[in-house]
Structure 1
Amino acid sequence: MIIKTKYHGEKEINPEHIITFEQGIPSFEDEKKYIVLELGEDSTLFVLQSVTTPELAFLVADPFSFFPTYQFALPDSVIEALKIGNKEDIATFGILTVKEPFEQTTINLQGPIIINSKEKRGKQIVVSEGNYHTKHPLFQQKSSIGEER
């Protein structure tokens, strides 16, 4: 299947890799189908691309790659909704807010995207424990995440 994308132009994708967000993503509730694309080879950054709307794409990253101490509990309702059977099937992403210069880019640690990679289901959740924010500096880790600045 070929889709039009924001960052990759026309891209051939495997329909079996499409992830369904039953409730959409907040502010984009009508968009239910996405695919995760690598931004580039050997990149820690990815694109969560809408399958139906080429202009709708979120730059995302695995928060654990940048914040090894990042942690939160998945509510039972999310585990059930995403049909998570094994924690190995879970992929977690934080949405980035890209800034100029790029070194000032931030990541949303309060609202991670959770994907069951086996069942191809996704959901953005709100993390209430910890002191996480929607705009943690991605590259400036002089203070620990969750601490007030």
Structure 2
Amino acid sequence: MKINTKFLGEVEVNENDIITFEYGMPGFPDLHKFILLPLDADLPLAVLQSSEQVEIGFVVAYPFAFKKDYAFDISEEDKEDLKIEKEEDVIAYSILTLKDTFPESTLNLLAPVVINANKKLGKQIVLQDSSMYPLKYPIGALEGSAK
């Protein structure tokens, strides 16, 4: 199927790749269907695009590429919501706020977007220990596994 996107124009997507966010995203509780669209195979970035509303798309980044010691626990409730059976099924992204130059951009490490890639379920989780990671982590240069 074809969808219009905020950043990439019209793209062809596989309906089986659509990720359901049962509770929507913070600020967008009525939007439940999103798809991950890679930006560049060499970059740890993608677009999390609503398949329901073209204007809603978020640039997301693989946070471990920018903060190699990033780690968090997923609550039992969130594991249940996402139907997580194996750790290998989980992919985490952080929403990127783009600035004038890329190294000035920031990642939201406080509220990762967690996706069960196997079940195609997603949820943005606000971490309980807000002192552990900032809402606006300056990315600077790559330091993690995507270097």
Q: Which residue of 1 aligns with 2:56?
A: 56
How many residues are aligned here? 142
The letter of the residue matching 1:64 is: F
Q: 1:71-130: CA deviations, max 9, x gaps?
A: 111000010110001100001000011101221000000000000000000000011235
Query: Following TM superposition, by how much is the alpha carbon of 1:41 offset from its aligned partner in structure 2, in angstroms?
Result: 3.0
1:70-109 counterparts in 2 under 5 A? 70-109=70-109
| SS class of match (1:78) | helix
Q: Which runs of 4+ in 1 moved over 3 A?
A: none
Q: Which residue of 1 aligns with 2:126?
A: 126
Q: Larger relative CO (CA 8 A, sep 6+): 1 or 2?
A: 2
Pair 75,35 (structure 1): closer, same or farther in 2 beyond 3 Å:
same
Pair 41,140 (structure 1): closer, same or farther in 2 beyond 3 Å:
closer
1:1-149 counterparts in 2 under 5 A? 1-129=1-129, 131-139=132-140
Q: Is the CA contact (8 Å cut-off) linking 2:66 and 2:141 kept in structure 1?
A: no
TM-score by length of 2: 0.92
Gaps of 5+ in 1: 143-149
| SS class of match (1:74) | coil
| SS class of match (1:81) | helix
Q: Is the CA contact (8 Å cut-off) linking 2:110 and 2:127 kept in structure 1?
A: yes
Q: Which residue of 2 aligns with 1:147?
A: none
Q: Which residue of 2 aligns with 1:145?
A: none
Query: Following TM superposition, by how much is the alpha carbon of 1:40 offset from its aligned partner in structure 2, in angstroms?
Result: 2.0
